[in-house]
Amino acid sequence: MERRVLLAVFLSFLVLVAYQSLVGPPPAPESPVADAEAPVSPTPPTAARSPTAAPAVASPAIAVEVAVGETTVRDIAVEGASVRAVFTNRGAKLVSWELLDYTDDAGSPVELVPADVAPDQAWPFTLNIPGDAETTAHLDGALFQASTSGLRLTGDEASLTFEYADSSGLRAEKVFTFLSTAGQPYVVDFTATVTRNGNALPVSVQWGPALGGVRADTSMLVFQQLPAGVLYGRELEGEQYQETDILRPQPGDLAERSRYEGQFSFVGVDNHYFLAAALPGERPSHVDFRAISTAADEHDLVAFDLSVDVGTDPLPVFLGPKDFDVLGAVDPDLVRAIDFGFLSVLVVPLHRTLKWIYGFLGNYGWSIIALTALINIVIFPLRHKSVTSMRKMQEVQPEMKAIQDRYAGLKATDPAKQKMNKEVMELYGKHGVNPVSGCLPMLLTMPILIAFYRLLSMAVELRGAPFMGWITDLSVQDPLYVTPVLMGASMVLQQRLTPSAADPMQQKVMMLMPVMFTVMFLWAPSGLVIYWFTSNLFGISQQVITNRLAGPPRTRQVRPAAERQTRQAATPEVVDVDPVPDSGNDSRSSRGSRKRSGRGSRRGRR
């Protein structure tokens, strides 16, 4: 049973690795893209595309006189405690959105607006007039008049307005309202109106290739979700709204289907830790996704165009981390963007408990240890029952081996094998042994392990969270491989203390399991290794306590005489029947044989 449990644990991790490599997203690029993570300064970025460049489609040939606008290109910076945004007055578009509380591999703030894409790609909040490419290009290249030269968010609600008007009767306005006063630093309310000669034109919002913040160097066991589309709500198929569901179109799927219509709580693009999404709410809308390759062609980004009424009613847009509490404060449905997998029913309580403990300790490494302690206290009865059951299995091993030896020469299809199984079950019942109780409690802890793996892989709170000393990021591997080695040593010690009913050869084979796990955990998130190592330490302590309470194992020896007797009982007796004697000599011989048989029987009874 012990061998099967350890094999099940090993196979479970193989399933996780196989799912990530075969079914999950492709691995992250090996080397970072130079410009994707670079901080954007007020000067326009020097990348493949530039917000100051002229639009791809030429403006109208007929000259128009600008009534409201500006004559030079400039940037408007919006500074906040958690976000630094940069807008350009050319087209009134967003060209940079830096998260000041999160850093990339180079130590700079995470940039969510990639710049390393083709120059004809749109920037966030670009307006599109459906069916009118000329007006769309004209607005894209127009120099809007900004309401301020810069904006500093001090906690109160603040707005940035862009206006444009010309002699052709075209008028456009964009308003960005920052909701820092509501404790939502990553949310901006967006409104846009476009009219021609007083008549409103239909408007859709283009969101260029997203999303930045993808880590450049991750290992095989560190789950990495690359940018993909995400939307949640009631999809419209035909003329019927479907059940509320979450959809995650991958870049490779967009060639077959790229448009979704319905009523969506949110729609956008996310990656492993960050999300850019609009929240249309109950307004009917449709979204078109497109896969865009980066300049280095190392992985795909996803762009989307959202067609929804963005008139006087503001359209909330979230650009920030996939933090459970932050998303829930914006919209309760927004937390569904975090893909915790099929064990979310376990991951969410573990996540909430981890953050609750962090509120007291202020360190996620120690919080993981404390949460591991709580988990081991909860599963203590299961582990204790598993250990005591293994002790009983170890005690009856000699008797069970004697039964197996008696039937060793029989084939598996021999009906006599059923008798062996019956004897084994009688032996279990006689000594109160339940083989299932030895492995089932340990198997029940496997979902907790997998849930913890998913939590430590997806929780943005652990991204860049230090523990102590050389461990500066709990979401990536231990750079010095100290914790995996300690974990492997603890597995060896725990295995030596655990009672085993396996033969010496199997025990030697089982000693290879800690070596394999150590090699696997060399590239696992250090937070997961700390969890497993701490859990092993609790298991060793519990094993020592259980051994002292139960005392030394009682060894049951099978007496040779009793073994021969059981063999004789299990072997059918052959009786030779002599014919009726016709002479005295035969009679005397028969009586002599019976006497000798009787003496043998008496000796056997003695």
pLDDT for residue 600 is more than 50: no
- State what percent of residues in the chain have pLDDT above 70: 72
pLDDT of 16-68, one tens digit each? 555 444 444 444 333 333 333 333 333 334 345 676 665 554 445 457 889 99
List, in sequence order, every residue forming a beta bridge with 234; answer none if it has no partner: 263
CA dist., res. 431 & res. 360, Å (int): 48
Q: What mean pLDDT, rounded, does the chain reach?
A: 77
How much is the pLDDT for 504? 61
The ranges assigned to domains in the chain are 67-214+224-339, 347-550
How much is the pLDDT for 281? 85
How much is the pLDDT for 229? 93
How much is the pLDDT for 368? 94
- Is the distance from CB of 175 to CB of 196 less than 8 angstroms? no
Q: Identify the weakest region by mean pLDDT among 128-142, 207-221, 276-290.
A: 207-221
In the 8-state DSSP scheme, what is residue 31? S
pLDDT for residue 463 is more than 50: yes
CATH class of 67-214+224-339: mainly beta
Say if strands 75-79 and 150-152 run parallel, antiparallel, or are unpaired: parallel
CA dist., res. 116 & res. 214, Å (int): 13
- Is the distance from CB of 206 to CB of 122 less than 8 angstroms? yes
pLDDT of 126-179, one tens digit each? 999 988 899 999 999 999 999 999 998 887 788 999 999 999 999 999 999 997
In the 8-state DSSP scheme, what is residue 332? G
Q: Give the model's confidence band at 585: pLDDT under 50 very low, under 70 low, under 90 confident, else very high.
A: very low
Average pLDDT over residues 241-253: 90
Q: Give the model's confidence band at 452: pLDDT under 50 very low, under 70 low, under 90 confident, else very high.
A: confident
Query: pTM for the complete prediction?
Result: 0.75
How much is the pLDDT for 503? 56
How much is the pLDDT for 477? 86
Q: Give the model's confidence band at 10: pLDDT under 50 very low, under 70 low, under 90 confident, else very high.
A: low
pLDDT for residue 539 is more than 70: yes
Say if strands 228-237 and 245-247 run parallel, antiparallel, or are unpaired: antiparallel
How much is the pLDDT for 553? 60
pLDDT for residue 223 is more than 90: no
CA 224 from centroid of its chain's CA atoms: 9
Say if strands 245-247 and 66-68 run parallel, antiparallel, or are unpaired: unpaired
